[in-house]
Structure 1
C-alpha cells in the first residue's frame, strides 16, 4: 500500500478525478499484464522466467545446463516457454 498522503484541502474536483483516474489506469495495466498468463505458448525472458518460478538467475542457468528446463534462443537472447516451465515441475511425494 502506498504511504503517500493526499491533502484534499484546496484540491479541485477535476484534480481529484484526475488523480483517481491515474490510479485506476495503473491498476488496470498491472491487471492486463497478469491476465495473459493463461497462454501456454507465451515466451518469457530469463528475468520473467525467474520471476515466474520465484528463483534466481543462477538457479535457472544450472537447471538449463542440467537439462531440467528447455530454452530457445535468437542470437544471444534466451527465451523460455511457459508450457515447458510448467512441464518441468515435478510432483513431490508427501
Structure 2
C-alpha cells in the first residue's frame, strides 16, 4: 500500500506557483489561440452569381445533392465554404 507524503508549502509559495502556472497557460493560449471564422451564408442569387449559373440550375444541383441548402423563414441560403468545396479540380 502506498504511503502518503506531505509537502510543506506555505500559502505564499502556493500562490506564487499558481500565479506562474496561470501566466504560462495564458501565454500559451495567446500564442496558439486561433479564433474560428464566422461562417458566411450566401443567398440563392449570390450563390448562382458566384457559380455563374442561373437559379434553375442551382435548384437542380441542390435537388441532386451537389450543394446543400439551409433555410429559415422561407429563405434559402448556402454556406460559402460548402459551395467552394463543391468545386472540384478538373
Q: Do they superpose with TM above 0.5?
A: yes
With structure 2 as the length reference, what TM-score do the two structures score?
0.56
Partners of 2:38 and 2:51 lie apart in 1 by 15
Number of aligned positions between the proteins: 54
Instruction: Please list every run of at least 4 consecutive aligned residues from structure 1 whose deviation after the TM superposition is greater than 2 angstroms.
Output: none
Q: In the superposition, relative to structure 1, how do residues 52 and 40 fare at CA in structure 2: closer, same or farther (>3 Å)? A: farther
| Equivalence for 2:40 | 42
Q: In the superposition, relative to structure 1, how do residues 68 and 40 fare at CA in structure 2: closer, same or farther (>3 Å)? A: farther
| Equivalence for 2:31 | none
| Equivalence for 1:59 | 57
| Equivalence for 2:76 | 78
- Cα offset for 1:53? 0.9
CA RMSD, aligned part only? 1.4
With structure 1 as the length reference, what TM-score do the two structures score?
0.54
Q: What are the ranges of 5 or more consecutive residues in structure 1 without an aligned counterpart?
A: 1-38
Secondary structure at the residue paired with 2:89? coil
- Cα offset for 1:75? 2.1
Q: What are the ranges of 5 or more consecutive residues in structure 2 without an aligned counterpart?
A: 1-36
Larger Rg: 2
1:46–1:78 contact (8 Å) kept in structure 2: yes
Partners of 2:81 and 2:69 lie apart in 1 by 11
Q: 2:67 aligns with which of 44, 62, 69?
A: 69
